[in-house]
Amino acid sequence: MKIISYNVNGIRAAINKGFIDWLKSADPDIICLQEIKALKEQLELELFEEAGYKFHYWFSAQKKGYSGVAILCKQEPDHIEYGTGIESMDFEGRNLRVDFNDISVMSLYVPSGSNIARLDHKLEYMALFQDYINKLKKDRPKLIVCGDYNICHQAIDIHDPVRNKNVSGFLPVEREWIGNFIDSGFVDSFRHFNEEPHQYSWWSYRANARANNKGWRLDYAMVSEPLSERMKRAVILSDAYHSDHCPVLVEIE
């Protein structure tokens, strides 16, 4: 099972930049999308179906042109779960899950903490999400939580840890949360296979950041421990240029 996670920063904009041809070439079994910024009715769904993804599920934010997640699948899932049932989380379209036999795959989009109010919302979301996952794992222990976590875990995951230490995405409280999330029973699949520095999945559009590889690793495929022995590889697909993020991939045997 080849799974890709990709914050597309607007699915319609990504399509205009060649996303569909890239998707055919990358050929994942499942692709989890974040920040789709569109309603299902605004999309030409046949584009995805013609690319081989007859089963596609969309969970958009109530606010138009904002947030939203989706999952495209080659095979039909046994079950689709829209949201978490937590009202303060679900109206922004941040969680979508598909189940295949005993394996569950989630597309997750953690809020950014761009100002004080949003940071408070982000911290509340993270606490509620951890509680939700703790309960979910009792029923669905084989779980892959893919997405944009909007957090760099360690200094190795950000180009300038000293100057960014007080910036949301690298705050001590956020880093502690993602560390605790991993410790609650997950494996950061990319770091399991790769301990090299300068490996990022997001770059600012400003100051030629991507060309200079001044980035942040915000996107993860977290694999629950009962599945961790079945991981074959995990990579960052930095050659994809449809967004300010790039995709991340994990393969499960």
What does the alpha-carbon distance between residue 180 and residue 134 come to, in Å, rounded to a whole number? 12
Domains and CATH numbers, the chain: 2-252 (3.60.10.10)
Residue tagged active-site, from 148, 157, 188, 219: 148
Tens digit of pLDDT at every position of the chain (253 positions):
999 999 999 999 999 999 999 999 999 999 999 999 999 999 999 999 999 999 999 999 999 999 999 999 999 999 999 999 998 899 999 999 999 999 999 999 999 998 989 999 999 999 999 999 999 999 999 999 999 999 999 999 999 999 999 999 999 999 999 999 999 999 999 999 999 999 999 999 999 999 999 999 999 999 999 999 999 999 999 999 999 999 999 999 9
pLDDT of residue 4: 99
Cα dihedral 72→74→76→82 (10° resolution): -10
Distances (CA, A) of 15 to 8, 48, 143, 147: 9, 10, 29, 19
What does the alpha-carbon distance between residue 178 and residue 190 come to, in Å, rounded to a whole number? 14
> Tokens standing for 39?
């309603």
Q: Does 148 qualify as catalytic in the annotation?
A: yes
What does the alpha-carbon distance between residue 238 and residue 95 come to, in Å, rounded to a whole number? 24
